[in-house]
Amino acid sequence: MYNLSQSVTWKKLEQLALTSKNERIADAFAADANRFDDMSLRLGGLFLDYSKNLVSSQTLELLFQLVEHSPLRQRRAQMFSGDIVNVTEMRPVLHTALRNRGEEPVIVNGEDVMPEIRASLEKLKGFSEQVRQGKWLGYTGKPIRDIVNIGIGGSDLGPNMVCRALLQQRHEKLRIHFVSNVDGLHISKVLNSLNPETTLFIVSTKTFSTQETLLNAKSAKNWFLESAAEQDVAKHFVAVSTNQAAAVEFGIAAENIFEFWAWVGGRYSLWSSIGLPIALSIGYQGFIELLEGAYEMDQHFLNAPLEQNMPVIMALIGIWYINFHGAETQAIIPYDQALHQLPAFLQQLDMESNGKSVNVEGEPIDYATGPIVWGQTGSNGQHAFFQLLHQGTRFVPIDFIASLKTQEKTDEHHFALLTNMLAQANAFMNGDQSEGEQNHASCPGNRPSNVLLLDELNPRNLGALIALYEHKVFVQGAIWNINSFDQWGVQLGKKLATEISGEINKKSTNYDASTQGLMKLVREHVKAS
């Protein structure tokens, strides 16, 4: 039986963490002139420097042993081959198949799913090119100029982040909007700036039953029908869903429903038809380049030795900090304004995947799992929360992310951006004790970080970056022996929201006094439909 915290390697890592607790990263550089070269990796247009971490060759050797004793190799093979790895929902997990650019089949229940995937891509291509070329006309014969994606969670965060990151490559005549919050102010603000004659809505919901998405879609449809007729809905609303019947009932033409499959998890779905806004914004070829970058990282993850495997190394360093140094959070700091929504995207990816307290057998575990992921752009962070990171009592590992080349003609700005990032990474490592160790100005340093550099922020490199983090999360989940692909905590919230919505006018006594009291206030002050 796999018992992680009782393994010999785990015990050795616990001991090593105790004996090395006073070691300093700066001293490791002084002792080894090759540390940067030995602790950096390149894959295509992505470069990782992990030398500013509290790890030695001994640490890494033990962490690699942890991998060898874990189910990682088996689960990695199962995931890529279409076997069931989401054991609580009895599903395969095949976001990797969505970006499979090779010829190899992927078999699920005895059938190759690749022909279906390629067909869905062709449909995506045909539709996106029609819209981008001005050939998809609205009910008054005008081409589409605004596209509103209505979704939440994985149906919003991934496409939203990618479209914002690649904003410089967007179609010059198309504006892409994203509506996710059920707060009516969100959709009202977007709709107020639009013309119904030239607006296309994408309703993105896996089951076509997500409460927030359907309410926003209904509001969008009502707004549209103030100017148009019911038969015009088909020209202005499309859906991305597994539930064709419900989408058709809403008024969406069957031929305008883009499918994906139950084996596509929401937080991994941007590679599927959920990525329709991406294809509309940057073009189908750009979307394919995004898939190709992810596929390159997939192949690296599958085939590179552990010691040269970028996702494995990042995952193990994270485990070292979470399980042996007590780190509770992970900061994501992009020094690139275009990546300002990356922390929110990675927050869902990591916390929804590895926020678990039982193993795959349903048994409680006695070690920490997924960290709290947070962050924002570096320039702003420097003048906000970096103070705590430099001098506070919290231990927070940091991932710095930047692109070397900018698409803007602002070399002076970009140079300042990158030098600020390098300065911060250096300051976190070295600190400043020139005024004395107890002085209020003293910064102790020895704060670890990774630095991830993209040659430039383009679809291929962004695809590789996203896949890198996906696989990092998967590796950690496999070592912790948890299921990274279900989200029962999310389902509980959805279930209770539906129940309370249905019972709020009944003065139900099925809830605690606090919930009943709050329901009463809602009844009195908000008209419940």
Measured CA to CA, the distance from residue 512 to residue 389 in angstroms comes to: 40
Residues 225, 228, 231, 237: is their CA dihedral positive or negative? negative
DSSP state, 443? B
Active-site positions read: 352, 383, 494
CA atoms of 390 and 395, how far apart (whole Å): 10
Enter the tokens of residue 177: 């909007």
Q: Determine what percent of the chain falls in helix, strand and coil, rounding each to the nearest 5.
A: 55, 15, 35
Q: How far apart are CA 306 and CA 326, in angstroms?
A: 24
Tokens coding 35: 């540390």
- Among 201, 93, 187, 199, CA closest to 142: 199
Q: How many CB atoms lie within 10 A of CB 466?
A: 25
Contact (CB, 8 A) for 267 and 349: yes
Alpha-carbon gap, residue 287 to 203, rounded angstroms: 19
Separation CA 343–CA 161 (nearest Å): 9
**Around Cβ 87, how many Cβ atoms within 10 Å?**
13
Tokens 């070690």, residue located: 367
Residue whose C-alpha is closest to residue 458's, from 407, 389, 496, 499 = 407
